[in-house]
Amino acid sequence: MSVKLSTLLAVCTALTLGASLPLNQVHADKEPVAETLPWEDARLLAEVLEHVRRDYVERVDDRTLIENAIRGMVSSLDPHSAFLDNEEYDEIRISTTGNYSGVGIEVTMEGGAVKVVAPIEGTPAAKAGIEPGDTIISIDGVAVEQATLNEAINRMRGRAGTTVKVRVTREGVSSPLEFLLERSNVQVHSVKHELLEPGYGYVRITHFSETTGLDLNNSITALKAASPTGLKGLVLDLRNNPGGVLEAAVNVSDAFLDDGIIVTASGRVAESKFEMDATPGDITDGAEIVVLVNSGSASASEIVAGALKDHGRALLVGRTTFGKGSVQTVMPLSDGRAIKLTTSRYYTPSGVSIHHKGITPDVLVDRDIEPHDFMPGIGGEALLRGDQQIVLALDKLKDGSVIRQSRGKSRSDVKKR
């Protein structure tokens, strides 16, 4: 005897599965779950829930119990599947779309204090004069010394047109500074660039969102404009890039490739099985490329690194990548919640799965180093002074290593489908 899973859930709480918003996945709609669950298992879950409700030392409301049960069920599948509450789902949507409503400050927690990494260009924070290195001490009169980073970020976010008062301390300024900021729509750009020297550019992609492809095109256009004699070489920095939207990784790979497979994937349902191919056109006009990677380069970063490596289009420099060869799809639920579920395994153009193995660079460095802090307008000379791996990449562009790598790569190594 069996009972519909939806029936059991209706007894516990009403949860409705809606259309899917993919993360690292092609867009598709899902039908409501209609699998059956053995009656014995359904009864076991109901028994445990009832014991906890009745006998646990403290009272726990039914919604919390059900959410925790779901969270445990999904997170036990693998490290990348998860139940997302409202706030977690909002964070996923912000990271994938690159849009949110707030004041436009990149912040980090340093020594227990919330520090400004940089105000985002054109945002209320930048226009008001907030500077990199400022320490935020209060938001709307509430001290943030003991707050978590997420709490501080959430306080500064809000509906466009509303105001927030941010108080900061600044090195060299004796008294705190106070800014009344009107929240607005903020566009988070995932691509930054600098000209290292004439003919040689540097592009760093911090994560992959829906705007990454356009941001990359804008960066390459700017680098070309700054190099009247043409772009000879490019350093593409993917270090500590945790990934993001699959389509963005495909767009970035396609920007540097004229043809061939970029990535393939397999899964249990039809929409989780796909192949993505490059289209004609190289935005660098054939400039040589060195890609910097490390153990923090994961998922979508590895899709780009694997495609450019397998096609002999770039030389990889750094440390072995993280090794996340799976694709997650975010599936909205009721009341602004969602689940992030692993739905596919992906493969590089040569048909290799990098899951739990990562991608080994062509040139290995002795140790992982943190990418140099990238402040707007830092300049190529400052990057070269502060980051020896960028220096190494530039040397490889100049000494012919990339050309030798490209010539040594047989197209037959790339799996034909």
Which of 168, 187, 206 corresponds to the end of one domain? 187
> Is the per-residue pLDDT at 320 higher than 90?
yes
Angle at 313 between CA 271 and CA 297, to 5 degrees: 60
Verify that 270 and 285 share a domain, yes or no.
yes
Verify that 211 and 351 share a domain, yes or no.
yes
CATH number for position 351: 3.90.226.10
Verify that 181 and 223 share a domain, yes or no.
no
Q: Cite the active site residues.
A: 299, 310, 324
Which of 45, 80, 115 corresponds to the end of one domain? 80
Q: Which residue has the higher pLDDT, 287 or 90?
A: 287
Q: Are 317 and 361 in contact (CB under 8 A)?
A: yes
Q: Are 169 and 110 in contact (CB under 8 A)?
A: no
Does some domain include residue 247?
yes
Mean pLDDT of 143-154: 78
Does some domain include residue 89?
no
Verify that 251 and 295 share a domain, yes or no.
yes
Q: CA 405 to CA 395: how far, in whole Å?
A: 14
Does some domain include residue 279?
yes
* CA separation, residue 123 to residues 23, 77, 190, 296 (Å): 27, 40, 15, 29
* pLDDT number for residue 30: 46
Verify that 176 and 203 share a domain, yes or no.
no
Verify that 397 and 359 share a domain, yes or no.
yes
Does some domain include residue 45?
yes
Verify that 72 and 154 share a domain, yes or no.
no
Does some domain include residue 136?
yes
Digit-coded pLDDT (tens) for 257-285: 999 999 999 999 999 999 999 999 999 99
Task: Provide the domain limits for residue 15.
Answer: 2-80
SS3 284: coil
Mean pLDDT of 1-21: 32
CB within 8 Å of 359: residues ≥ 6 apart: 293, 302, 305, 306, 309, 316, 320, 321, 348
Verify that 164 and 293 share a domain, yes or no.
no
- How would residue 412 be classed by pLDDT, with cut points 50, 70 and 90? very low
Q: Token match 């709307």: residue?
A: 140
Does some domain include residue 344?
yes
Q: CA 131 to CA 100: how far, in whole Å?
A: 21
Does some domain include residue 92?
no
Does some domain include residue 388?
yes
Q: Please, what is the average pLDDT of the chain?
A: 85
Verify that 220 and 270 share a domain, yes or no.
yes
Q: Could you tell me the pTM of the whole model?
A: 0.81
* pLDDT number for residue 31: 46
CATH number for position 144: 2.30.42.10
Q: CA 120 to CA 106: how far, in whole Å?
A: 7
Verify that 7 and 145 share a domain, yes or no.
no
Could you tell me the end-to-end alpha-carbon distance of the chain, in angstroms, rounded to an integer?
45
Count structural domains, the chain.
Answer: 3
Mean pLDDT of 342-363: 96
Mean pLDDT of 396-415: 70
> Is the per-residue pLDDT at 414 higher than 90?
no
> Is the per-residue pLDDT at 10 higher than 50?
no
Q: Which of 288, 292, 298, 305 is nearest to 325 (CA)?
A: 298
Half-sphere exposure of 287 (CA within 13 A, CB side): 25
Angle at 365 between CA 361 and CA 368, to 5 degrees: 100
The two three-digit tokens of residue 169, written as one number: 């301390």
Which of 170, 187, 204 corresponds to the end of one domain? 187
- How would residue 118 be classed by pLDDT, with cut points 50, 70 and 90? confident
Verify that 339 and 202 share a domain, yes or no.
yes
Digit-coded pLDDT (tens) for 202-243: 999 999 999 999 999 999 999 999 998 889 999 999 999 999
Residue ranges in 56-188 assigned as alpha helix (H): 62-75, 86-97, 124-128, 149-156
Verify that 109 and 249 share a domain, yes or no.
no
Q: CA 163 to CA 308: how far, in whole Å?
A: 45
Expressed in percent and rounded to 5, the helix, strand and coil fractions of the chain are: 35, 25, 40
